[in-house]
Amino acid sequence: GQNIDQPTEMTATEGAIVQINCTYQTSGFNGLFWYQQHAGEAPTFLSYNVLDGLEEKGRFSSFLSRSKGYSYLLLKELQMKDSASYLCAVRALTGGGNKLTFGTGTQLKVEL
């Protein structure tokens, strides 16, 4: 099976930097995704890592260490609109397909 852990809640200040961590245990690892979900909406894709290292995309960066089963999402220059739930998801090759399992999400609150 798969086990994905991330903090339940975080609070940060507008303009600051926040790092959201995710640890996972899985067999057949085939990539890690971060999604953003605003209240009442569907999750939307933010980033994807399959190799170790840092992927940067504008104000968002994501890091992966496969040996440690660890990833983080880094959000810079926080804006009020970044208040949302951030979901870590692990893709695993299993039974002939790619299974995508999500953590329970980290609710980020950005304050003035």
Q: How far is it, in rounded angstroms, from Cα 70 to Cα 22?
A: 6
The strand pairing partners of 81, in sequence order, are none
Q: How far is it, in rounded angstroms, from Cα 35 to Cα 8?
A: 15
Residues 59-88 binding other proteins (CB under 8 A) are 87
Residues 44-63 binding other proteins (CB under 8 A) are 44-45, 48, 50
Q: For other proteins, what does the binding mask look like between residues 93 and 112, x meaning CB under 8 A?
A: -xxxxxxxxxxxx-------
Q: How far is it, in rounded angstroms, from Cα 32 to Cα 71?
A: 8
Binding residue (CB under 8 A) for other proteins from 42, 51, 53, 112: 42
Shortest distance, CB of residue 79 to other proteins, whole angstroms? Answer: 23
**Dihedral over alpha carbons 47, 52, 67, 97 (to 10 degrees):** 50
CA 35 vs. chain centroid, Å, equals: 6
Is 43 near other proteins (CB under 8 A)?
yes
Shortest distance, CB of residue 109 to other proteins, whole angstroms? Answer: 16
Cβ atoms 19, 71 nearer than 8 A = no
Shortest distance, CB of residue 101 to other proteins, whole angstroms? Answer: 6
Residues binding other proteins (CB under 8 A): 31, 33, 41-45, 48, 50, 87, 91, 94-105
